[in-house]
């Protein structure tokens, strides 16, 4: 297992993911949060509390929840690229026990997802305090509150990386996996959140659980804006448990599905 994990990290560092990943993290964290802080949530449409308040700080930082597709795409690419470039055959010849190979991939990309999450949250903190300083306003939440929310966001990024690995193992086709993730995360889930009656399941979907964990309530607010009764989000702890359940499901898919398939 140690050799396989080491090999996976070597493979990761030979791809463009390790170069583009940190850049994407800085954009999704620092640039997004920094611009939102400079503009001011009170100037959004609809208007929201400014960063002088704790609620405003939570709103601005939770915007990074919109970018969970990035680590999910990285996770999916980790698996599908091997099928696309036909290297998966040599991987399984080198290590015939597929479950060990796939477990090594999951472990490697869980660590990579956690690292991505830490870069996102660190840059988001810089964007928040830097934007507030440029505007000449104080941040309405203490360092402990900010750190707690950022750690929740980092955990969500880690889970979505593992979800991406599971989707990649299930679909194997890179284009199909990336399209499915984008379609689901930005269209299907949002549509389900806005349909009366159907939106009762939204809190238990990955997006709803992430919203509960990261205090991202823009989707439920959008439902209320169009006079749709929105579903109540879960408490943060339950949201974390639901996300953990999805991570376990992704692990089972990533390890179990390829065991029952031919490589080609």
pTM for the model stands at 0.85
**Is the pLDDT confidence value at 260 over 70?**
no
Q: What pLDDT was estimated at residue 230?
A: 67
Question: If 0-12 CB within 10 Å is exposed, 13-18 middle and 19+ buried, where does residue 206 land?
Answer: buried
Indicate the pLDDT class of residue 219, thresholds 50, 70 and 90: low
% of the chain residues with pLDDT over 70: 92
**Is the pLDDT confidence value at 32 over 60?**
yes
Candidate ranges 28-37, 76-85, 92-101; pick with highest mean pLDDT: 28-37
**Is the pLDDT confidence value at 247 over 60?**
yes
Q: What is the mean pLDDT of residues 156-183?
A: 88
Residue 16 and residue 246: Cα distance in Å, rounded?
27
Residue 212 and residue 234: Cα distance in Å, rounded?
6
Q: What is the mean pLDDT of residues 108-137?
A: 91
Closest CA to 168 of 178, 158, 159, 160: 178
Mean pLDDT, the chain, as a whole number?
A: 84
**Is the pLDDT confidence value at 263 over 70?**
no
**Is the pLDDT confidence value at 132 over 90?**
yes
Measured in residues, the chain has a length of: 264
Q: What is the domain partition of the chain in residue ranges?
A: 2-259
Q: Is the sign of the CA dihedral 134, 124, 53, 40 positive or negative?
A: positive
Percent helix, percent strand, percent coil in the chain, to nearest 5: 80, 0, 20
Q: What pLDDT was estimated at residue 96?
A: 66
**Contact between residue 151 and residue 121 where contact means Cβ atoms under 8 Å apart:** yes
């Amino acid at each position: 297992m140690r050799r396989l994990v080491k090999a996976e990290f070597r493979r990761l560092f030979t791809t463009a993911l390790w170069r583009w990943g940190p850049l994407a993290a800085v954009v999704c964290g620092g640039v997004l949060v920094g611009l939102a802080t400079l503009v001011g949530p009170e100037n959004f449409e609809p208007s929201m509390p400014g960063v002088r308040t704790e609620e405003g700080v939570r709103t601005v930082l939770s915007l990074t929840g919109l970018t969970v597709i990035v680590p999910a795409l990285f996770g999916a690419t980790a698996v599908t690229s091997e099928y696309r470039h036909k290297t998966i055959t040599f991987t399984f010849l080198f290590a015939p026990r597929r479950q060990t190979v796939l477990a090594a991939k999951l472990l490697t990309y869980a660590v990579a997802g956690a690292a991505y999450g830490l870069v996102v949250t660190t840059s988001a903190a810089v964007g928040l305090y830097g934007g507030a300083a440029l505007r000449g306003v104080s941040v309405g939440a203490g360092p402990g509150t900010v750190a707690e929310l950022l750690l929740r966001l980092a955990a969500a990024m880690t889970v979505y990386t593992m979800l991406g690995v599971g989707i990649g193992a299930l679909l194997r086709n890179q284009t199909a996996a990336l399209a499915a993730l984008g379609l689901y995360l930005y269209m299907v889930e949002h549509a389900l959140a806005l349909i009366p009656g159907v939106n009762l399941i939204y809190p238990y979907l990955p997006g709803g659980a992430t919203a509960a964990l990261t205090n991202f309530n823009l989707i439920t607010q959008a439902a209320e804006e169009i006079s749709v009764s929105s579903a109540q989000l879960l408490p943060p702890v339950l949201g974390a448990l639901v996300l953990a359940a999805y991570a376990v499901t992704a692990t089972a898919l990533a390890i179990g599905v390829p065991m029952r398939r031919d490589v080609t």
